Amino acid sequence: MSSDDGITIRLLAPAEAERLVGLIRRCYGESYIDPSFYDEPVVRERLESGILSSIGAFSDQGALVGHMGITLRSRGTLSADAGMTLVDPAFRGKGIARRVAGGLAKQAIALGLVGVHDYPVTVHTATQRIGRDFGVETGLMLANLPADVVFEQMESGASGSRTSSVIRWLPFAQSPGRSVHLPERYCEQLESSYAACYLKRALGPSGAPGTAATELAAKYDERRQTLRLELERIGPDLAARVASEMQAPRATPPLVVHADLPLGDAAAETAVGALRELGFFFAGLLPEYRDGDILRMQWLDGSVDVASAGAIERDSTRAIEAFVLEDRP
């Protein structure tokens, strides 16, 4: 797909992994959030396996000047993560990112996805503007990225403090109908997000956890100093399990913790209460994130000072920011 200015939008081949590494360096220097993307063989393997789909913008000279990626969390899921929005500093202001986003939408549909999640940063508004015509903001993760991430030649650049990220849902097909159990504290906010996303959900009653122990997967990102707890089953020992994971010895302690609650579990109400007692608060809704919808809650270390999320593009996102900050203990 080529345009009058000579820009061509197409998928990257695995043999072009080196071009993606080079573009990351031109956009971020050595500060990119995922250091593995500086490793050309690793990038090539992800492209070969299909875990990563890279949509690139190429100049008439054949240089990679823009990029967005779709990363599958697992095979057979209905959604994926979108990101890695990159535009060469020499080619900004030409609408390249919007054209790449169009290619991303076509690739997502080709992969059979009903939608993707992306996480625009709030240190500037450029990535928030991409996809705003069909994306819906459903949450806000405070202090999501470390302070040393440098956005080359952007209007803000490194701010000296951690950067927040919007949670956004970009739908491409009808999501299957599901039953969810909405915690009372967040019921109105979640119903508003569902309505904005045009997602039909049957509301079920809340219930107490069963007797079986909590099942969760803990994933620690040392670069971000962020711990993510993916709850598979909510049990009566939830608070103890979460506290144990948060206190587990690590080379660097987590500054941010995310707890993902399955809204298909009737005990979500109980889980919210337990997590609130540990200092967690609302982050957002992630539709179709794993095998259903997820309520993400967040915890920040006391050393993380966030008075506001930063640069916000839309009024709807500002409303979410106000809700998140008010919910923070």
Average pLDDT in the chain:
91
- Fold for 178-327, please state it: Aminopeptidase (3.40.630)
Mean pLDDT for 49-66 is 96
Q: For residue range 258-278, what is the model confidence (pLDDT) as tens digits?
A: 999 999 999 999 999 999 999
This prediction has a pTM of 0.92
Q: Give the closest residue to 294 by CA, choosing from 184, 138, 120.
A: 138
Mean pLDDT for 4-26 is 94
Q: For residue range 190-221, what is the model confidence (pLDDT) as tens digits?
A: 999 999 999 999 999 999 999 999 999 999 99
Q: Is 132's pLDDT higher than 90?
A: no
Q: Is 247's pLDDT higher than 80?
A: yes
Domain 1-113 part of CATH 3.90.1150.10 = no
CA distance 104 to 56: 9
Q: For residue range 113-128, what is the model confidence (pLDDT) as tens digits?
A: 999 999 988 877 777 7
Q: For residue range 170-198, what is the model confidence (pLDDT) as tens digits?
A: 999 999 999 999 999 999 999 999 999 99
* Percentage of the chain lying above the pLDDT 70 cut: 94
Mean pLDDT for 14-32 is 95
Q: Is 156's pLDDT higher than 60?
A: no
- DSSP 3-state of 20: helix
CA distance 180 to 201: 7
Residues 40, 41, 47, 53: is their CA dihedral positive or negative?
negative
Q: Is 33's pLDDT higher than 50?
A: yes
Mean pLDDT for 41-64 is 96
Q: For residue range 73-82, what is the model confidence (pLDDT) as tens digits?
A: 887 889 999 9
Q: Is 151's pLDDT higher than 70?
A: no
* Percentage of the chain lying above the pLDDT 90 cut: 78
Cβ atoms of residues 137 and 125 within 8 Å: no
Question: β-strand 52-58 against 64-71: which pairing, if any?
Answer: antiparallel
pLDDT of residue 124: 73
- DSSP 3-state of 144: strand
Q: Is 158's pLDDT higher than 60?
A: no
pLDDT of residue 1: 52
Q: For residue 3, name the pLDDT band (cuts at 50, 70, 90).
A: low
Q: For residue 310, name the pLDDT band (cuts at 50, 70, 90).
A: confident
Q: For residue 157, name the pLDDT band (cuts at 50, 70, 90).
A: very low
Tokens of 306: 């966030």
Q: For residue range 279-298, what is the model confidence (pLDDT) as tens digits?
A: 999 999 999 998 899 999 99
CA distance 217 to 230: 5
b/e 47-70 (16+ beta carbons within 10 angstroms → b)? beeeebbbbbbbbeeeebbbbbbb
Mean pLDDT for 18-36 is 94
Q: Name the segment(s) of the chain with CATH classification 3.40.630.30.
A: 1-113
Q: Is 133's pLDDT higher than 50?
A: yes
